[in-house]
């Protein structure tokens, strides 16, 4: 079964937007902007960690 565009690209686009936000937030502000930057930059790593674990548990 072939997937629709959004099925394939939904997550990658969201992670790309979050990374972009994270890269810019720390450049444009301090304080809460730094926290925003850390959180949005950490998200793609958490997603990787989640699927990595999931594939181990499935076994």
Partner 1 sequence: MSIRKWYLIHKWTSLVCTAFLLMLCITGLPLIFHEEIEHLSGVVEAPVMAENTPNASMDAVAEAARKQRPQDVIRFMFWQQDEHPNVTLVSMAKSMDASPDDSNIVLVDTRTAKVLDEPPPERGFMYVMLKLHIDMFAGLPGMLFLGVMGLLFSVAIISGIVLYHPFMRRLDFGALRREKQARLKWLDIHNLLGVATLVWALVVGITGTINTLSQVVIAVWQGDQMADMIAPYKGLPPPTRLGSLQDSIETAKKTVPDMHVSFVAFPGSMFSSPHHYTVFMKGNTPLTSRLLRPALIDAQTATLTDSREMPWYVKTLLLSQPLHFGDYGGLPLKLLWALLDLVTIVVLVSGLYLWIKRRQHTGQRITDLEHKHAAMAKGALR
Sites of contact with partner 1 (CB under 8 A): 1-3, 7-12, 15-16, 19-20, 23, 26-30, 34, 37-38, 41-42, 44-45, 47-48, 50-52, 54-56, 58-59
Q: Which two tokens stand for residue 27?
A: 């450049």
Q: What is the smallest separation between the CB atom of 37 and partner 1, expressed in angstroms?
A: 5
Q: How far is CA 44 from CA 2, 5, 50, in A?
A: 25, 20, 10
Q: What is the smallest separation between the CB atom of 44 and partner 1, expressed in angstroms?
A: 4
Q: Which two tokens stand for residue 52?
A: 């990595």
Q: What is the smallest separation between the CB atom of 31 and partner 1, expressed in angstroms?
A: 11
Compute the chain's Rg from CA coordinates: 15
């Amino acid at each position: 079964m072939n997937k629709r565009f959004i099925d394939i690209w939904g997550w990658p686009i969201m992670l790309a937007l979050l990374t972009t936000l994270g890269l810019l937030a720390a450049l444009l502000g301090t304080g809460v902007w730094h926290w925003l930057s850390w959180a949005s930059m950490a998200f793609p790593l958490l997603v990787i960690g989640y699927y990595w674990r999931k594939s181990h548990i499935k076994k």
